[in-house]
Structure 1
Amino acid sequence: MPLALHLLALAVFAQGTSEFMLSGLVPDIAHDLGVSVPAAGALTSAFAIGMIVGAPLMAVLAARWSRRAALFGSLSVFLLAHVVGAVTGDYGVLLATRVVAALANAGFLAVALATAASMVGPEAKGRATSILLGGTTLACVVGVPGGALLGQFLGWRAAFWAVALICVPALVAVVRSVPAGAGTRVGARAELAALRSPRLLTVLLLGALVNGATFCTFTYLAPVATEVTRLGAGWVPVLLALFGLGSFAGVSAAGRLSDTYPMRVLVLGGSALLLGWILFALLAGNTTATLVLALVQGGLSFAVGSTLIAQALYAASGAPTLAGGLATAALNVGAALGPWAGGLAIGGGLGYRGVPGVSALLVTLAFVVTCVARVVRGRAGGGATDEAVVAS
């Protein structure tokens, strides 16, 4: 794989760290800026909304530029947003920087996915995608805990400065490694034509459901561990690290398998993922099962999820930037849907043990969508070789 691809993953690492690090910084931000904890927590929601709205929008806008210009511009804006966030003393300004950073992040990731696919052979998009998404999983394992430690010892602003500094070598890499004319400028109308693909829309819906299942349990993993498994608070970082390590392993494995055997990864991996969430719901009170399943489910979730992203790029090869943007939006819709659904289960009396059960339900819905899509395509005369979901 090209070195430039790994350097793009460094930028994705910085962006993933920024997206998730506020979970450990909210109390300090609230105290420093003189706002309530819920108001500080809204900074995370602002970033998520910016990603959902910005991904397809920025993808269409970026289609008019060369990929190097789009990558450099979006990453520069992302860096500057964190510099402003690190120095401001005004909550409103900080909130605005989170929205701007999310828009820039969405634009960068959409173009980076298309650029990664163009750097490799036509049958290696899955592996290229896995390297980029490896930056996100490493952010969960290393970046988020590192940001929390920086916030604890040096203040929350240090975490913002760290994210900005990590972006600098990635900016240099974009200038030196991505050709000025990389990619073909595609008009917005041509990119939007990709929305007519039923296969693409199906893959995006599957991605949202699978990612929703992932973040449903991941969001509440700490209280599941302490309230259901009865682990001490000191075990929570270990559990999160196991989930993150599993995620990195899953992305890496999918990168080697998803291009050649996409159906096997999705069907077998999806079935194992569903079984795992069911077992988690049943065995959450057992310490060994909880630790093992955190590792396994992290791996399966990201293996299936990254394969679906690669399939989105295959499904819209004529509009790769928009496909990357829509995939980014779909993942963030899932990241918002999952915790909301898990919260409904908790508030509805199922308790924290019901959270993995909701994850199982979301994966079940993904299988239902797959079956319905195949039936519809079959009745429309798609035939067995024109698969509704993935190309084998």
Structure 2
Amino acid sequence: MTFPLFALMLCVFGVGTSEYVIAGILPGLSSDLGVDIPAAGMLVTAYALGVVIGGPIVTIATARIQRKTLMLLLMAVFIAGNVLAAVAPDYWVIVAARVLAALVHSTFVAVGIMLAVNMVPEGQSGTAVAKVSLGLNLATVLGVPLGTFIGEQYGWRATFWAVAGITTAATLLVAAVVRPAEATGGGAATELKVLGNRRVQVAIVMTVLGSAGFGTVFTYIAPLLTDVTNFSTTTVAVLLIVFGVGSVFGTMLGGKLADRSLMPALCGLLAALTVVLLLFGAAAPVQVVAAVLVFVFGAASFSIIPGLQARILTAAAGAPTLALAVNISAFQLANAGGSWLGGQVLDTAGVRWTTVAGAAVTVLGLALGLLELARDRRARAGEAPAATGSTTPTATVG
């Protein structure tokens, strides 16, 4: 990984840690601010809503700003949000702080992806996306446990100060080593027009379906492993780290496969995730097999992310920033929808059946991907008579 890509990945690591670590510091935060756990848990909902609402609005409003300059501005707002959270005198101020940080989340990640893609040779966009997205994986594996530890030792405010410090260092590194890149497309009007592209719309729906299948199961993975597999809570904590390691492996593999052959790879990975979810449910009572499948589940779930983002890049060529931001917001909606679906299944049929529900949602994403793959191949076949030169097909199907 080059130093500029590392700088972008470190920014994403800070953003991901800030988003996820709230779960680890909720007890101390709720006690200190005098609110109950459900009220404190609304900070997660507030952040998600901020991401979903803020992504399109902020992206449209900043469409003509030079990309590196925009990223530095977005990171400054994000840092301010975490500093405000660290000094918040009451519950409602910290809610406002979380929303402030969330408003720039989608646009920041989208711009980071665009800057990363500009740094690599043509045909390596999937790998570039994977390297930037690695920051989210590391946030889960390293950032959240470390942030939780800091919160337990020094208080929840120290966690927000730590996140602000990491993101400040990462922002300074971006300022020093990332080369400028002009805004793509023709401004807000062009970006909005891209959202009317059928291929972009389908790619966003694929993101929702593929990610919702993951969310349906992962939200309830702890009760699945304790109640069905009979692991202790301590073992489950270790297995969540194993899941995180699998996610790192899957992200990098998914990026490489997306560069080699985008839509065939994406369809294959969605099929693999469907199978893994079904196997997870079937083998959940067998501890050794379930432990292995936790790693495989992490790998399969995150392997689809580079391909989903790369599909947006190819479908929205010329003005991809807003489409990417909306797609990032779609991940949030998918996780929320998956959590809701899993909760309904858990209440009516039991936690083990969340894996079947997750597989059913994922297979819808697979079906949509196969339809797009067939459409792409028909389109290329129709263009073939007009082509000149070699008839060897290219490796990547966009």
TM-score of the pair, normalised by structure 2 = 0.92
* 1:209/1:334 contact within 8 Å kept: yes
Counterpart residue identity of residue 206, structure 2: L
Partner of 1:354: 353
Counterpart residue identity of residue 20, structure 2: F
Query: Offset at 1:73?
Result: 0.7
Query: Offset at 1:91?
Result: 0.5
Say yes or no: does 1:391 pair with 2:397.
Answer: yes
Query: Offset at 1:373?
Result: 5.0
CA distance in 1, matches of 2:303, 2:181: 32
* 2:51/2:329 contact within 8 Å kept: yes
* 1:78/1:104 contact within 8 Å kept: yes
CA distance in 2, matches of 1:137, 1:262: 22
Partner of 1:197: 197
Say yes or no: does 1:18 pair with 2:6.
Answer: no
Partner of 2:245: 245
Query: Offset at 1:367?
Result: 2.1
Query: Offset at 1:369?
Result: 2.5
Partner of 1:127: 127
Partner of 1:163: 163
Helix, strand or coil at the partner of 2:260 = coil
Say yes or no: does 1:51 pair with 2:55.
Answer: no
Partner of 1:227: 227
Helix, strand or coil at the partner of 1:308 = helix
Say yes or no: does 1:213 pair with 2:213.
Answer: yes
Partner of 2:71: 71
Q: Structure 1 stretches of 5 or more lacking a match?
A: none
Query: Offset at 1:185?
Result: 6.3
* 2:17/2:136 contact within 8 Å kept: yes
Query: Offset at 1:285?
Result: 1.3
CA distance in 2, matches of 1:117, 1:314: 12
Partner of 2:365: 366
Helix, strand or coil at the partner of 1:152 = helix
CA distance in 1, matches of 2:310, 2:160: 31
Counterpart residue identity of residue 44, structure 1: V
CA distance in 2, matches of 1:249, 1:241: 13
CA gap of 1:383–1:368, structure 2 versus 1, over 3 A, is same
CA gap of 1:385–1:136, structure 2 versus 1, over 3 A, is farther
RMSD value over aligned CA atoms? Answer: 2.0
Offset from partner CA, 1:1-49 (integer Å, 9 cap, x none): 5421111110100111111111111111111000111110000000111
CA distance in 2, matches of 1:102, 1:369: 30
Query: Offset at 1:194?
Result: 1.0
Counterpart residue identity of residue 356, structure 1: T
CA distance in 1, matches of 2:93, 2:12: 24
The count of residues paired between Structure 1 and Structure 2 equals 386
* 1:59/1:324 contact within 8 Å kept: no
* 2:246/2:297 contact within 8 Å kept: yes
Partner of 1:116: 116
Counterpart residue identity of residue 354, structure 1: W
Offset from partner CA, 1:88-120 (integer Å, 9 cap, x none): 121000001111101122221121111111222
Query: Offset at 1:374?
Result: 6.3
CA distance in 2, matches of 1:383, 1:96: 50
Partner of 1:84: 84
Query: Offset at 1:255?
Result: 2.1
CA distance in 1, matches of 2:246, 2:284: 18
Query: Offset at 1:265?
Result: 2.0
Say yes or no: does 1:267 pair with 2:267.
Answer: yes
* 2:203/2:311 contact within 8 Å kept: yes
CA distance in 2, matches of 1:385, 1:280: 42
Partner of 1:284: 284
Query: Offset at 1:302?
Result: 0.9
* 2:263/2:369 contact within 8 Å kept: no
Partner of 1:172: 172
Helix, strand or coil at the partner of 1:89 = coil
Counterpart residue identity of residue 353, structure 2: G
CA distance in 2, matches of 1:162, 1:267: 39
Helix, strand or coil at the partner of 1:170 = helix
Query: Offset at 1:186?
Result: 3.1
Query: Offset at 1:56?
Result: 1.9
State the identity as a percent. Answer: 36
Q: Which moved more, 1:318-327 or 1:243-252?
A: 318-327
CA gap of 1:298–1:106, structure 2 versus 1, over 3 A, is same
Helix, strand or coil at the partner of 2:230 = coil
Counterpart residue identity of residue 119, structure 1: M
* 1:115/1:183 contact within 8 Å kept: no
CA distance in 2, matches of 1:269, 1:373: 15
Counterpart residue identity of residue 290, structure 1: A
CA distance in 2, matches of 1:122, 1:198: 24
CA gap of 1:338–1:61, structure 2 versus 1, over 3 A, is same
Query: Offset at 1:294?
Result: 0.9
CA distance in 2, matches of 1:384, 1:282: 42
Helix, strand or coil at the partner of 1:318 = coil
Q: Which moved more, 1:263-272 or 1:165-174?
A: 263-272
Q: Which moved more, 1:79-88 or 1:53-62?
A: 53-62
Query: Offset at 1:196?
Result: 2.2
Offset from partner CA, 1:201-257 (integer Å, 9 cap, x none): 111111111111122222111111111111111111111111111110011112222
* 1:66/1:185 contact within 8 Å kept: no
CA distance in 2, matches of 1:383, 1:288: 46
CA distance in 2, matches of 1:41, 1:256: 37
Query: Offset at 1:309?
Result: 0.9
Query: Offset at 1:383?
Result: 6.2
CA distance in 2, matches of 1:368, 1:122: 29
TM-score of the pair, normalised by structure 1 = 0.93
